[in-house]
Chains A and B, each alone.
Chain A
Amino acid sequence: MSKDAILGSIRRGLRRGPLPADQRAMLESRLATHPRHLIPARSRLPRPQQVALFVRNVEKEFGTVERVPDLAALPAAVADYLAAQNLPPRFVLAPHPDLAGVPWSDRPMLEFETRRAEGTDQVSVQHGYAGIAETGTLMLPSDPARPTTLNLLPETEIVVLRASRVVGAYEEAWDRLRAEHRDALSGGFMPRNIMFVTGPSRSADIEQTLELGAHGPRRLHVILVDDDPAALPMADAEVPLRPAEPGGPAAPGD
C-alpha cells in the first residue's frame, strides 16, 4: 500500500531501515520536551511596555484597541464603538462565561444573541484567549464558548481580551495552552481549531495593492480589559520602539 511505499522510498533515500529504538527514543524525547528556539528580543519587556507593544502592533496592522478598567465597562465600550462606526447596536455574542456575566442591560439599546455566527450577522463579540505582543496577534482557540464562525462571517469583529492574557512571544501562548487546555477526544491539549489573527482580513491580489476586508472581517476592534495591575500604562514611561539591546529584560513566563 501507499504508506509502506512512501516510507520505504524515504528510507532507501536515507540509506537505512526503520529507526533503531534508541534513536526513536531520542526523537520522542524531543517531541515531549518540544524545545524552544531563538525568541526575538522585541517582546521581552516589562509588563506595561509589553502590553503597550501589543496595542501598537494591533494598530500597525489596521486593528483598533480600546482599554477599559473592567468587564462592567464593556456595554458602554461596545455601544459607543458601534455608534461611532455607524453600525446598528446588534451583535452575536460568544457563549463565554466572562461575557455572560457582563451587565449588558446597562445599555438597553444593545441587542444580542449568544450563538455561532451566520452569514447575515454584521457584528460579533468574541472572547480572546491570549494576545501576543510580538506581532499584535490574537489567539482564538475554538471551543463551545468560542465559535470559530465569530471570527469569520461578520464584517466587524470585536474581541474582548484581558490584559493579563497578553504575552510576549507565541511560545508563551503555547505554554499557556499546554498547561490550561485538555482535549477530551485526543487526550492532548489542541482544540479542533486555533486561529491566530493579526488585524482585519485583507488582500493584495489586485496589482499587489493592499485592500482591507476580503472574505473575513473588515474591522477588528480589541477591547482590552485592564485586569492586571502590573500591566497598567506607566504615567511617564516612554515605550521604546524596540528594546535597546537584544536579550533585554525577560518577560514573565519566559
Chain B
Amino acid sequence: MHVTSPAFKANASRAMRDAGLQKALGKAKGAFLERRAAAVAALPEFERLRDIGRDIKNHTLAHLDFYLETYAANVERAGGKVHWCSTAEDARAAVLEICRKAGARTVTKGKSMISEELGINEHLEANGIQPIETDLGEYILQLRKEAPSHIIAPAFHLNREDWEADFRRMHTELPADRVFHERRDILAEARTRLRERFLAADVGITGANFLIAETGSSVIVTNEGNGDLTQTLPRVHIVLASIEKVVPTLEDCTSLLRLLARSATGQDFSVYTTFSTGARRAGDLDGPEEYHVVLVDNGRSNMIGTEFQEMLRCIRCAACMNHCPVYGVVGGHAYGWVYPGPMGSVLTPSLVGIDKTALLPNASTFCGKCESVCPVKIPLPGMMRHWREREFERHLTPSAQRRNLGLWAFMARRPGLYRMVTRAAIGALGLIGRGKGALRSLPLAGGWTEGRDLPLPEPGGTFMAQYAKARREKRA
C-alpha cells in the first residue's frame, strides 16, 4: 500500500474540511465508547484480565522462536502447510503460488489487516485472479477502490447515503429505482450478491486473530459469518498471519478473547469465534481440502529487543483509536497507511520507517486515554515519545521546531529566566484580554492557530506566582 503519511498535515486539514467524513465520525464516535464502557462495567474482573493479557503476550514474545516452531509443527501434524515469509514480497509470492496451483479464478476474502499491509488484492489482480472482499465494510471499499479507515470497522468514514449511491452505481443488474427503506435493505442486497461469490470461489483467504502453538490452530473472530463462509466453502483455505499472533495454549487464547470483543465492539463475545486446525478430515461432509498458513514477519522480528517490542502485544481491538481525540477529528485515512490511530502511530514507523512517518507519533495530545483502554496495557504514549526522540536524534525534525525546542530547553534549565519570560509573555497576552476565553488567531503564529485556539490567561498570574502567594498567605 502506498504510504501517504509524509502528507499527514495536508491529509488532516482535508479531513477536517470534509463534511461527509465529519458527519460519519460524529455519528460513530459515541457508539463504540458507550458499548465498551458498558461491557467493561459488567465484568468486575476486567482490570485483572488486562494484566493477565499483558503477561501472556510478554511470556510468548520472550519465547517467540519456541512457540512459532511448536505451532508450525502442530499445523503440519494436522495436515496443514506453513509458508514462512520474511517479507511482504515473499508472502505475496506464496499466496499467488497456492492460488495458481489450485487453478483459482476467484478468491473470497475475510477481513484481514495483514492482507492490506501485504497488498494481496493488487498482486492477485495483476496476475489475473479476482479477489472478492466479503466483509460488508470491505466489500463497499473494494467497490469504491478505497482503503479501510479503521481496523475493525473499515467503512467507518461512510454514511448511509454513500452505501446507497455505491450500490446503485455498481449493482446495475438490479432495478435502478429500487428503494432502500432501511439499513437492512442494504445489508440484504450485499448478502444476496455475495452468496453466489462464496459458492463459486476456488480459494478462501482469511486473517487470524490468534494462532495456538499447542494445537496448530488459527482463530478468527467475526460477527457477520463471512470469514467462516470464506474458510469453509472453497477447496483451499489460506490463513494470512503475522508472527506475533501466536499464543501458547487454548487457555491463553481464551483469556485474551475475554478482552478482545469487549474492548473492540463492547460485545461480551463476538458472534463467531472459530478455531481451524488443518483441512477436512476423513468422513467430514464439508470444509476445505487444503489448509495453508502464510506466516509473515515483514519487519516485526526487528522490533524484538527494542523499546517497541511491547507493541507486538497488540490484539488489534481498535479501542485506542476509538478513544483517540486526534483520530476522532481526522479519521483513519489521514494517517496515510494501513494502521491508523495511536497503535498505528507506533507500529507504522516500525514497519515502514520513521523517515516517512515522523508526523504520526507527533499527532497526539498525549492525553493517555489509549493506554488506559488498551486491553494488553501497551504504553502507547511512551512509545510515541521514543519515536519523537529518534526523530530528533536523526535530525528529521524541521529546523524551526528544533530551534524552538533548543530555546525552550535553554530556558527550562534556568528557572529564574524561565519564570521571568513566562511572566512577561502572560502579561503581554493578559493585555489582549485576561479571562476573556481564547484567541482565534495570533500574529506570526498563524500556522499554529489555524487548527486550534490559544487560551488567554486567567486572572491571578502564573502558576508559580499563585503558588508563592498562597504559601506566603499560609505562613502569615
Contact = CB atoms under 8 A, between A and B. Distances in A.
A39 to B, nearest CB: 8
Interface stretch (A80-88, A201-209, A230-238): A201-209
Nearest to B49: A38
Contacts of B28: 207-208
B282 A184 contact: yes
B131 interface: no
A195 B272 contact: yes
B251 A13 contact: no
A101 interface: no
Interface stretch (B68-76, B323-331, B364-372): B68-76
Interface string B210-224: 000111110000011
B268 A186 contact: no
Interface in A19-42: 19, 23-24, 27, 30-31, 34-38, 40-42
B418 interface: no
Contacts of A1: 84
A157 B226 CA distance: 16
A191 B257 CA distance: 20
Interface string A183-227: 111111111111111111111111111011111110000000000
B136 interface: yes
Interface centre among B90, B217, B285 (most CB of A within 10 A): B285
Contacts of B67: 27
B86 A2 contact: yes
A152 B228 contact: yes
Interface centre among B134, B248, B271 (most CB of A within 10 A): B271
Nearest to B24: A207
B80 to A, nearest CB: 10
Interface-central residue, B137, B254, B297, by most chain A CB under 10 Å = B254
Contact of B271 (A147, A149, A171, A199): A199
Interface string B224-236: 1110110011000
B191 interface: yes
Interface in B49-73: 49, 52, 56, 62-70, 72
Given A137-B269, A149-B286, A19 B63 contact: yes
B255 interface: yes
A5 B295 CA distance: 13
Contacts of B140: 205
Contact of B44 (A57, A200, A214, A246): A246
Interface in A153-180: 153, 170-171, 174
A148 interface: yes
Contact of B287 (A6, A9, A142): A142
Given A119-B195, A193-B276, A208-B153, A7 B68 contact: yes
A147 B213 contact: no
Contact of B305 (A13, A34, A203): A13
Nearest to A196: B273
Nearest to B82: A3
B243 interface: yes
A198 B270 contact: yes
B303 A13 contact: yes
B284 A147 contact: yes
Contact of B84 (A6, A18, A117, A217): A6
| Interface of chain A, main secondary structure | loop
A153 B49 CA distance: 35
Given A57-B268, A174-B251, A190-B78, A201 B224 contact: yes
B154 interface: yes
Interface stretch (B95-103, B118-126, B156-164, B451-459): B156-164
A193 B226 contact: no
Interface residues of B, number: 108
Interface centre among A152, A205, A242 (most CB of B within 10 A): A205
Contacts of B77: 186-188
Interface-central residue, A27, A116, A188, A204, by most chain B CB under 10 Å: A204
A36 B250 CA distance: 9
Contact of A208 (B31, B194, B257): B31
Given A203-B187, A214-B226, A216-B272, A37 B45 contact: no
B276 A192 contact: yes
A31 B305 contact: no
Contact of A206 (B183, B267, B271): B183
A10 interface: yes
Contact of A10 (B65, B184, B224, B279): B65
A33 B268 CA distance: 27
Given A6-B68, A215-B134, A186 B277 contact: yes
B295 to A, nearest CB: 8
Given A193-B275, A203-B223, A10 B64 contact: yes
Nearest to B159: A207
A137 to B, nearest CB: 6
A144 interface: yes
29 contacts: A2-B84, A5-B86, A10-B64, A10-B65, A13-B301, A13-B303, A14-B65, A19-B66, A23-B63, A34-B249, A34-B250, A35-B251, A116-B286, A142-B286, A142-B287, A147-B285, A147-B286, A148-B232, A183-B277, A185-B281, A190-B216, A193-B274, A198-B273, A205-B154, A206-B160, A208-B153, A213-B184, A214-B224, A215-B229
Interface of A: 1-3, 5-7, 9-15, 18-19, 23-24, 27, 30-31, 34-38, 40-42, 57, 61, 95, 115-117, 119, 134-135, 137, 142-144, 147-149, 151-153, 170-171, 174, 183-209, 211-217, 242, 246
